[in-house]
Amino acid sequence: MLTVASPLSSGYAMTESPRWHAGRLWFVDMHQYQVIAVGPDGKAEVMADLPGQAGGIGWLPDGRLLVVVQDQRRILRQDDSGLVVHADLSDEVPSLLNDMWVDAAGRAYVGEMGFDAHEWFDSDPQVAANWFSGEAPALDVPVTSRLLVVDPDGSSRVAAHDLVFPNGIVVDESSRTLIVAETFAARLAVFDIAPDGSLSRRETWPLGFYPDGIGLDGAGAVWVSDPVKSQARRVTFGGEETGRVSTDQTCIACAVGGEDDRTLFLCTAPTTEPEAARAGLGGRIDAASLATGMSQ
């Protein structure tokens, strides 16, 4: 089944990390350094201005916002006094941070990029050729990357090694399963979560396309953004595809939400290159209503 999404909110550089929270869709404008919330009516509100490039977002159990500042390699926390450092990973992580998911216990799982993907594409024409070929071969990345877990007190530890550019992250409602998109391996990695937050029993689900951001629906299926094909694909546990939602721009990330939990929100943009994104402000939030079988 193919559904076409419609624009809900526009005028951004590059939207990323969508999360349905407290009746609105929260997301970041990565290259304008902001956290934004938009309601079902499309009305947007800036929730935080950041000191650097915006990454993943989430909330502690008491409702305080956490947000990744990718280039500073920090996770900030929004307190009554403003933004403060929740975890400084700059001594532990040599590259940019990426997406993040905060679980019900307040543990933040955050991925490191490992290398500059834009520079890598520019330096090796074959990488770009493979990316746009439609065949999605696993790419020989310069270095593998890690997933870290930051406990509620701000202390951190490595949760997983040898990931091929970890990108979108989700934890299921039971807090027992973590799923992360390995973009340049064209697959999802699935882990069991122990009570202390450590990860084990890794499985991989080949996708046949390069995934970016991901989100879960009410049935536990994973919506996976496909930036090359400008769509999001619904994948059940194990990797079977059961639905698609398309857009006319690069689909960077996705999340299920809405008042009835049957709306798929897409983060889309005409370009992911920072300077061009800031100049064009073509980034959007698109939305599509999901059929019952595609959400529950």
To which H or E segment does residue 278 belong?
helix 274-280
pLDDT of residue 293: 45
The gap from C-alpha 279 to its chain's centroid, in whole angstroms, comes to: 23
- Mean pLDDT along residues 72-77: 99
Cα distances (Å, whole numbers) of residue 188 to 1, 192, 212, 252: 22, 14, 10, 16
With beta carbons less than 8 A apart as the criterion, state whether 196 and 241 touch. Answer: no
SS3 276: helix
% of the chain with per-residue pLDDT over 90: 91
pLDDT of residue 239: 83
Mean pLDDT taken over the chain: 96
Nearest alpha carbon to residue 113 among 44, 152, 163? 163
Say what the pTM is.
Answer: 0.96
Assess whether pLDDT exceeds 90 at residue 134: no
Nearest alpha carbon to residue 249 among 72, 5, 67? 5
pLDDT of residue 295: 44
Q: Tell me how far apart the alpha carbons of residues 207 and 185 are, in angstroms, rounded to a whole number.
A: 9
With beta carbons less than 8 A apart as the criterion, state whether 177 and 193 touch. Answer: yes
Q: Which residue has the tokens 């970016």?
A: 212
Q: Which residue has the tokens 């897409």?
A: 266
pLDDT of residue 237: 87
pLDDT of residue 296: 39
pLDDT of residue 49: 99
Q: Where does residue 183 fall: left (phi above 0), alpha (psi -120 to 50 degrees), or beta otherwise? A: alpha
Q: Which residues are CB-contacts of 207 (< 8 A; sequence separation ≥ 6)?
A: 136, 186, 187, 188, 224, 233, 235, 239
To which H or E segment does residue 44 belong?
strand 44-49
More confident residue, 237 or 148: 148
Nearest alpha carbon to residue 211 among 136, 116, 159, 114? 136
In terms of Cβ atoms closer than 10 Å to its own Cβ (0-12, 13-18, 19+), residue 212 is buried
Banded model confidence at residue 294, pLDDT cuts 50, 70, 90:
low
CA max distance for the chain:
50
Give tens-digit pLDDT for 2-23: 899 999 999 999 999 999 999 9
Q: Which residue has the tokens 């509620």?
A: 152
Q: What is the CATH number of domain 2-294?
A: 2.120.10.30
Tokens, residue 256? 């299920």
Q: Where does residue 42 fall: left (phi above 0), alpha (psi -120 to 50 degrees), or beta otherwise? A: left
Extended strands (E) in 72-124: 74-79, 82-88, 97-102, 108-112
pLDDT of residue 270: 98
